[in-house]
C-alpha cells in the first residue's frame, strides 16, 4: 500500500514564516530564507523539513533525525544531532500545532466528504465488488476484487481497500489504507480525527491530524470500534491481529502482529504494542508507552508504565501477575 496523505499540503514556506508561528527563545534570523517543505516525525523528516521533540522517551529517534530543524525545549536540545537546528520554545505542542496548521490548514476538523456518490451509480467501476443498499463512495476510492461493502456504509475519498475484504453495515472509512482479507464489522468508525487538544485559558486549541490509519492483511475488527488517524505519523494495526467489539484506538498507536484484544479496551495516543500481545476486556493503556512482545494484560487492568517482553500483568496500576496475586492474598 502506498503511504499517501489525504490532506492538501501547502508550502514550501521560508523559515522566517515558520518562526512567526512559534516565537523561539533565541534569534534564528540568519536562516530566514531557507525553504521548509514540511513538518514530520523525527524518523520520517527529510533534510528540508522540520520535526519536534517533546519527551526524552524519544532520545533514540532524535539522535537519528535528518530534519533541518527541530522544535523542542532547552532541556531536550542535547538529544539532537549537532547539524540539526534547535528551535527552543516555551510550549512545544503549541508551536507544532501552529506549524502543522500552516502546512495543513484543513486537518484540524473533519469536514464532510461532499463528493460521495451512491454505489449504484458507479458500480461499473467495481465489477467484482458486492455492495449492500445505500452505500456511498467518494472520489478515487480503490476496492479490491471479491470484497463486500455492507448497507449504509460510507467509504470516503482516496480510501484504499484490498481484495477479499468484508466491510460491515454502517461503517465509516476515511483516511484509511486497508490490505487484503480484512474483516471490519458493523458500526466501526475508522480514520476519524484523534482527540488532540492543547488546553489554554482563552480557548482549547485543536491539534491537526494529518496521518492515516493503516490496517495490514488478515486483521479482524469487531463491531462499533473506533480507530483514530495519526497526527503526523500513522495509526497502525499489524497482520492477523484480532480486535473485539467496542475497542478504542487513539492516534499514532501502533499494534503489532497476531495480537488479541478483547472488548472495551482503550489505547491512549502514541503507544506501541508488540507482537502476539493478549489484552483482556476493559483494560486501559496510557499514552506514549511501549508494550513488548508476548505480553499478557489481564482484564480491567490499567497500564501506566512500559512492559518488557514476555511479561504477564494485572491490576490497577498493572503489576506483574505474581505481585498481583500476593496483593490479593493480603
pLDDT in tens, 220-264: 999 999 999 999 899 999 999 999 999 999 999 999 999 999 999
Nearest to 151 by CA among 113, 114, 192, 186: 186
Per DSSP, helices labelled H in the chain are 15-22, 59-64, 92-103, 321-329
Tell me: domain 117-329, CATH 2.160.10.10, correct?
yes
* DSSP per-residue codes, 25-36: SS--GGGTT-EE
Question: In whole angstroms, what separates CA 185 from the centre of its chain?
Answer: 20
Report pLDDT digits (tens) over 62-117: 999 999 999 999 899 999 999 999 999 999 999 999 999 999 988 888 888 999 99
| Residue 248 appears among annotated catalytic residues | no
Q: Residues near 12 by Cβ (< 8 Å), separated by ≥ 6? A: 35, 36, 37, 38, 48
pLDDT of residue 138: 96
Whether the Cβ atoms of residue 34 and residue 243 lie closer than 8 Å to each other: no
Nearest to 220 by CA among 243, 187, 190: 243
Report pLDDT digits (tens) over 170-199: 999 999 999 999 999 999 999 999 998 888
Residue of 209, 248, 251, 288 marked active site: 251
Cα atoms found within 13 Å of the Cα of residue 27, Cβ hemisphere only = 2
> Is residue 328 classed exposed, middle or buried when 0-12, 13-18 and 19+ CB atoms within 10 A define those classes?
exposed
22 falls in which pLDDT band (50, 70, 90)?
Answer: confident
pLDDT of residue 28: 78
pLDDT of residue 252: 96
> Is residue 22 classed exposed, middle or buried when 0-12, 13-18 and 19+ CB atoms within 10 A define those classes?
buried
CA distances from 61 to 50, 53, 139, 210, 276 (A): 14, 9, 36, 20, 24
Nearest to 61 by CA among 41, 84, 82, 33: 41
- What is the sign, positive or negative, of the torsion defined by CA atoms of 113, 119, 121, 124? positive
Residue 187 C-alpha cell reads as 458500526
pLDDT of residue 236: 98
pTM score of the predicted model: 0.94
Where do the structural domains in the chain lie, given as residue ranges? 13-103, 117-329
Whether the Cβ atoms of residue 51 and residue 70 lie closer than 8 Å to each other: yes
Parallel/antiparallel/unpaired status of strands 242-243 and 235-237: unpaired
Per DSSP, helices labelled H in 50-110 are 59-64, 92-103
Third-level CATH fold of 13-103: 3.40.1390
Nearest to 260 by CA among 245, 279, 236: 279
Phi–psi pair at 299, nearest 5 degrees = -60, 140
Q: Which residue has the cell 467496542?
A: 246
3 falls in which pLDDT band (50, 70, 90)?
Answer: low
Amino acid at each position: 500500500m502506498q503511504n499517501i496523505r489525504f490532506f492538501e499540503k501547502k508550502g514550501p514556506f521560508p523559515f522566517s514564516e515558520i518562526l512567526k508561528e512559534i516565537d523561539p527563545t533565541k534569534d534564528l534570523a540568519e536562516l530566514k530564507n531557507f525553504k521548509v517543505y514540511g513538518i514530520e516525525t523525527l524518523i520520517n523528516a527529510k533534510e528540508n523539513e522540520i520535526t519536534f521533540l517533546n519527551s526524552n522517551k524519544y532520545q533514540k529517534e532524535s539522535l537519528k533525525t535528518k530534519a533541518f530543524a527541530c522544535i523542542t525545549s532547552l532541556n531536550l536540545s542535547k538529544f539532537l544531532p549537532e547539524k540539526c537546528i534547535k528551535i527552543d520554545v516555551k510550549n512545544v505542542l503549541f508551536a507544532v500545532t501552529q506549524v502543522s496548521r500552516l502546512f495543513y490548514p484543513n486537518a484540524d476538523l473533519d469536514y464532510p466528504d461532499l463528493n460521495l456518490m451512491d454505489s449504484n451509480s458507479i458500480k461499473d467501476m467495481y465489477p467484482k465488488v458486492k455492495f449492500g443498499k445505500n452505500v456511498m463512495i467518494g472520489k478515487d476510492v480503490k476496492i479490491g476484487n471479491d470484497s463486500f461493502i455492507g448497507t449504509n456504509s460510507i467509504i470516503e475519498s482516496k480510501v484504499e481497500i484490498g481484495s477479499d475484504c468484508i466491510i460491515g453495515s454502517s461503517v465509516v472509512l476515511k483516511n484509511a489504507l486497508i490490505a487484503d482479507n480484512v474483516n471490519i464489522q458493523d458500526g466501526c468508525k475508522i480514520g476519524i480525527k484523534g482527540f488532540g487538544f492543547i488546553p489554554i485559558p482563552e480557548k482549547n486549541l485543536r491539534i491537526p491530524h494529518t496521518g492515516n490509519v493503516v490496517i495490514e492483511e488478515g486483521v479482524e475488527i469487531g463491531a462499533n470500534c473506533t480507530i483514530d488517524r495519526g497526527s503526523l505519523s500513522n495509526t497502525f494495526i499489524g497482520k492477523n491481529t484480532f480486535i473485539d467489539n467496542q475497542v478504542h484506538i487513539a492516534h499514532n498507536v501502533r499494534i503489532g502482529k497476531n495480537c488479541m484484544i478483547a472488548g472495551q479496551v482503550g489505547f491512549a495516543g502514541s503507544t506501541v504494542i508488540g507482537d502476539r500481545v493478549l489484552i483482556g476486556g476493559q483494560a486501559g493503556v496510557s499514552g506514549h508507552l511501549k508494550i513488548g512482545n508476548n505480553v499478557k494484560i489481564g482484564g480491567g487492568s490499567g497500564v501506566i508504565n512500559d512492559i518488557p517482553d514476555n511479561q504477564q500483568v494485572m491490576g490497577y496500576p498493572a503489576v506483574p501477575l505474581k505481585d498481583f496475586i500476593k496483593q490479593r492474598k493480603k
